[in-house]
Amino acid sequence: MERLAGRVILLWGWRRAITAFLAGALAVLSQAPYDFFAICFVSFPVLVWLLDGATVASQRGFLRRLVPAFATGWWFGFGYFLAGLWWIGGAMLVEADSFAWALPFAVVGIPLILAFFYGFACAVARLFWSNGLGRIAALAFGFGLAEWLRTFLFTGFPWNAIGYAATPVPLMMQSVSVTGMIGMNTLAVFVFAMLALLAARQHRRLGLSLAAILALAHIGFGYVRLAAPAKSDGRGISVRVVQPNIDMTEKWDESVRDRIFRTLLDLSAEPPEKDKPKPQLILWPETSVPFFFTERPDALTALGALLDEGQMLIAGAMREEGGNSTKGDARYYNSVVAINASGEIVDAVDKVHLVPFGEYMPFADLLARFGLDQIVAGPMNLAPGIERHAITMPSGIRALPFICYEIIFPELVAVDATSTDIIVNVTNDAWFGDTPGPYQHFRQAQLRAVEAGLPVVRAANTGVSGVIDQRGRIIDALAMDTRGVVDATISLGRYDKLTLGYPGINGLVILFAFGALGLGMGVGQKLRSN
């Protein structure tokens, strides 16, 4: 092992870049749908050894001394994000005549930019670098900090955070109810990178013991939490999730929109499965209705005829407000609307966190001068919603909606889900076909259920649709590219037993504790060497 580490440490030039790139790319196998988390016990030790060798002459300036570490981390990140996000390019091929030119930006450009976060992580870690356990703590702090920044900088995009590698199954998801994703990202890197100590004698036994204790605590807590009896407040709700499996090439085709609407109606009207009650809530995916309800009162009439008293439909739909559409000054929202048994729209919630370049164009006025206003994948620029609120159903149960990738933001869900009974998530991952993207998206919804201690009901156009309980377990789901419904009954009650404080705050405490540990050991080593 020492010989292998020595060869990695001495790599330079393109060999170092390729090794970092491959280590990052392999780490993606730990994410859904592969879930081979053990690969991180290879990728992160290799990264540690590469950073051991990321040095320059001490007389160089402060920032220049960090360049090799930043470059190593950037190549690691570029491999990780390129292998993990290539499927985003699929959205550019749905209307290839218009958007194929943007394919390189989506496939290569986004990973290229996101890799700066991991470059930053490694540069920060290198500031505290020392010979033994301290450098593992420093790397954990660097990645934990970078992943946290990735949740909000430049509108945020915390997709495939490293912590998801440590949570492939519900047994291994429960710790996030204590640590939050901030803490999970930090602890995961600390444990994954610990095998780098096998190549050195310093702190080897201590480090491996710490990693084993953390891993056992992670799994043991999951076992105890899952074995504990479910906490219910005595209420329940029956739900139906509709997955219409509409081809994206037909989604906005006016000639077939009545057929699409009829498909949604027919699926919703199917009798419940044997021994299952009639659903109180029917959920349709994001932008499932291919027209504005304000222009189709006949559609509302049909829905009124479909729904019985006590039932409610929550449907993803575009919403128009103010101005005049013929003059181009109306505002459009990506929304969910709630419709009751009288065929009335009784509530609507607009998407607050829009997708840049997909739903709105950042710096639109500036980029329009260069003819880039057509990159927006849709017929119009969307306006963001002002606030999110729970939709109250006839039974009094409160359902909090998140549209599309809003579900991937841990803090966003944690703040808004404090006074609700269930989380509903509508999305349309058909843009990306049967690629890893929809599975990664669904996995992140599972983690939000565990963090919030609330069930998640999720409808996706082509998948993955399903119902997730308060502990992240899948009650039922539909496979990708299938048409059908999921009927389920959920016991309500926030699952907060065996949790400690607020996961987000706990995560920050863990993050900065590792920063202090890395800093302390690094400073201690320098004092001893002097």
Q: Give dist(CA 78, CA 84) in Å, integer.
A: 10
Q: Catalytic annotation on 286? A: yes
Q: Is 404 a catalytic residue?
A: yes
The residue annotated as part of the active site, out of 404, 406, 411, 451, is 404
Q: For tokens 């009829």, what's the residue?
A: 262
Residue labelled with tokens 């419904």: 485
Which is nearest to 161 in space by CA: 448, 416, 388?
448
- Determine if residue 322 is left, alpha or beta; phi over 0 gives left, psi from -120 to 50 gives alpha, anything else beta: left
Q: Give me the count of residues in the chain.
A: 530
| Both tokens assigned to 163 | 């912590």
DSSP structure string for 407-421: GG-HHHHHHHGGG-S
Catalytic residue among 147, 286, 406, 451: 286
- CA separation for the pair 242, 524 (Å, rounded): 59
CB count, 10 Å around CB of 375? Answer: 17
Contact 70, 123 (CB under 8 A): yes
* Token pair in block for residue 442: 């669904």
What are the residues facing 485 on neighbouring strands? 242
DSSP 198: G
How do strand 331-339 and strand 345-350 relate by DSSP bridges? antiparallel
215-252 burial code (b ≥16 CB/10 A, e <16) = eeebeebbeebeeeeeeeeeeebbbbbbbbbbebeebb
How remote is the C-alpha of 76 from its chain's centroid?
20
Judge whether 359 counts as a catalytic residue: no
Q: Are 317 and 338 in contact (CB under 8 A)?
A: no
Closest CA to 504 of 412, 388, 400: 412
Contact 458, 427 (CB under 8 A): yes
The residue annotated as part of the active site, out of 40, 351, 411, 451, is 351
What is the distance in angstroms between the CA of the first residue and the CA of the last residue of the chain?
30
At position 395, the amino acid (one-letter code) is S
CB-CB neighbours of 326 under 10 Å: 7
Catalytic residues: 286, 351, 404
